[in-house]
Structure 1
Amino acid sequence: MLTLRLLRARCVAGALSVLLVSLALLSPATIVKAQSRLDDYPTKPVKIVVSFTAGGTTDVIARSVGQLLSEKFKQSFIVENKPGSGGNIGNEYVARSAADGYTLTIASVGPIAVNPTLFKNLRYNPLTELTPVILIADVPNVLLVSPKLPVHSFKEFIAYAKAANGKINYSSTGVGTSSHLSSVMLMDLLGVDAQHIPYKGAEALNDLIAGRIDFMFATIPSVIGQIKAGKLNPLVVSSLNRSRSLPDVPTVAENGYPGFSSGSWFGMLAPTGTPPEIITKLNQSVNEVMVGLEERFVSEGADPVGKSPEFFKAFIQAEYVKWKAVVESSGASEK
């Protein structure tokens, strides 16, 4: 019995020794050194992953923000495109990366708020495996028709759509995109049955301009050039408030459908587990550099937002709930 008690005492003493050694490792000098590494962030190039091809809205925003962050920190912020699977490939790559602030993503509404419902076999959860840093820009969708269509206002569009119930069609940039789901939401409100024709790439706009497609929702940056050239007629924007990029175009809400909101947005996220000090530093830095991007963003169709990581987190959750209902109502799904 005495031997057993002695053995237990020695085990406890050994455990205490390990604990004391561990505490010694966390000496004030060590803590200060660790904090210094965070204060010095970034000390090497930072990768910003874009889950779509170069030249798109996400890519343009990422490169604009990355350039100014490079200038601010005197350290490279390099954009790397990893397209595929509706944005899932690139964002999963980021979620699986080291949570040290050196791999980030600038992503849009689809991969973050829509895909968790749209994709039935998603291999990661963007809502829990990516940490919001900052909501960079709100990008409304705009309802477009060809000049060949005898429609010049939203009121005339409603009358046209109801008269052509079951025969009217619309294009989108793909199943489950905000372009597609915005049309689903609007047709549900109007009680109109419309045929969806999904596209990949610029052909959707080409067929709309040619009059082979009746209407389409598209992000303002992707069509602002065609609108200014008179190739497409904008009827309404999908945001609650008018876009600063198209101030003369009314909202759906203004036309008797309060609460209608179905635009796109773009924000920065990091792997979950990234030190909060780095999240805060990135958030503050992007808020600062966005001041220099405001005029450019607005001219290209994006409304700058900014604000805190907590704001972005709550915003994403609200978007997820909204789009979950729309996706389930539409019956859209991807494997």
Structure 2
Amino acid sequence: MDPRSLPARRRFLAQAGAAAATTFAWSGLHAQGDTWPSRPIRIVCNFPAGSSPDALVRAVSQPLQQALGQPVVIDNRAGASGIIGAEVVAKSPADGYTLLMTAGSTITTNPHVFAKMPFDPAKDLAPVAALARLNLFLVTRGDLPVKNVREFLAYLKKNPGKLTYGSAGNATGLHLAGEMLKSQAGVFAVHVPYRGASLALQDLLGGAIDFYFDPGIALQHVKAGKLKMLAIAAPQRSPLYPDVPTLDEAGLKGFDAGTTHGLYAPEGVPAAIIERLNREVNAALAQPAVRAQISALAADPSPLTPAQFDALMREDSRRYGAVIKARHITAS
């Protein structure tokens, strides 16, 4: 062998070794997505059974289980505005076997209203897949002397402090929507917090409060003529109620009190696993039976990429954070 060929050969071997190492690393990353899952997957829902996050994750759990070939177990860990269940997932191993199903408020609202949290949603949770966008509907008691949203806003202005609105509690989405309305319309109404939207709805039906922003549970009473639906708190009209105008159309430009519920994983879960989960969830959202279950919640299926989901939640957090700061809203 010609000694002069040794340096060139060594360079070749070094380059070949580096290329092999890169290929091995890349294959190893994708192998995690290819071999995962090999055991059951637990989805922690940080709200109680029967809540909208719970109903949504159960709608996709069966098709997700079929696609992944492993059992999907729903574990409800409610409490502390979703913080208890979210902390469980944030501090779980980043192996793709423990996921979080949460309402958008855990990500967009909690960091602005709680001075201290046991984890940082922006750093400790990775967005996986959006399931649905839930909009709020402006609903009044049936005998309120208004026929449409413009009359309602005018009535509020003529009666400052005389009307009351309910919410599911301080700093909840229903509360924020009411404060957004007051701020943008230049009106004042008294906030009455309840321990849940259903309790606020009961008092609205009984005439104890005048209006509230409904998450979808009052729709049967609207259809029965017991309550009035005046507007949707979203940029676009709802396909379920195409004749109901938006608050934007009523002059409150850009009014959006919607929130997106979705799946998260502990930060550090391999990208290949997140990509597969996202793909399978989006496929489930395209199934007619799943879409029907989501529509029954007055929600819109929201198939997004993880990046799109992350960007949407960041914008929601920015918007709600501004309202919380301006209106001095706290969780207590």
1:170 — aligned with what? 165
Deviations along 1:283-304, whole A, 9 cap, x unmatched? 1111111011223322431111
Q: How does 1:154-303 map to 2 (within 5 A)?
A: 154-201=149-196, 202-220=198-216, 222-292=217-287, 293-303=290-300
Residues 66-81 of structure 1: pairs in structure 2 closer than 5 A:
66-81=61-76
Gaps of 5+ in 2: 1-17
Alpha carbons of 1:192 and 1:27: their partners in 2 closer, same or farther (altered >3 Å)?
A: closer
Would you say the 8 A contact 1:149–1:211 is kept in 2?
no
Deviation per residue, 1:106-149 (Å, 9 max, x gap): 21221110000111111211111100112211111000101121
Alignment match, 2:140: 145
Secondary structure (helix, strand or coil) at the match of 1:255 reads coil
Cα distance between partner residues in 2 of 1:200 and 1:172: 8
Q: Which deviations, in whole Å up to 9, do the C-alpha atoms of 1:257-295 show, x marking residues without a partner?
A: 221111122111111001000010001111111011223
Quick check: 1:119 aligned with 2:118? no
Root mean square deviation of aligned Cα: 1.9
Seq. identity, %: 35
Deviates more, 1:294-303 or 1:234-243: 294-303
Q: TM-score, normalised by structure 1?
A: 0.88
- Does residue 326 of structure 2 align to residue 320 of structure 1? no
**Pair 1:305-2:302 in alignment:** yes
The offset of 1:89, in angstroms, is 0.8
CA contact (8 A) 2:52 2:297 kept: no
* Distance in 2 between residues matched to 1:124 and 1:267, nearest whole Å: 18
The answer on 1:47 being equivalent to 2:42 is yes
Counterpart AA for 2:86: N
What is the distance in 1 between the residues matched to 2:125 and 2:22? 32
In structure 2, how many angstroms separate the alpha carbons of the residues matched to 1:153 and 1:295?
A: 29
Deviates more, 1:207-216 or 1:68-77: 68-77
Deviations 1:232-263 (A, max 9, x none): 21110011001122222110011122211111
Distance apart, 1:58 and its partner CA: 0.9
Q: Which runs of 4+ in 1 moved over 6 A?
A: 26-31
* Residue segments in structure 1 that go unaligned for 5+ positions in a row: 1-22
Q: 1:111 to 1:33 in 2, by over 3 A?
A: closer
SS in 2 for 1:300: coil
Deviation, 1:319, is 1.1
1:65 CA drift (Å): 1.3
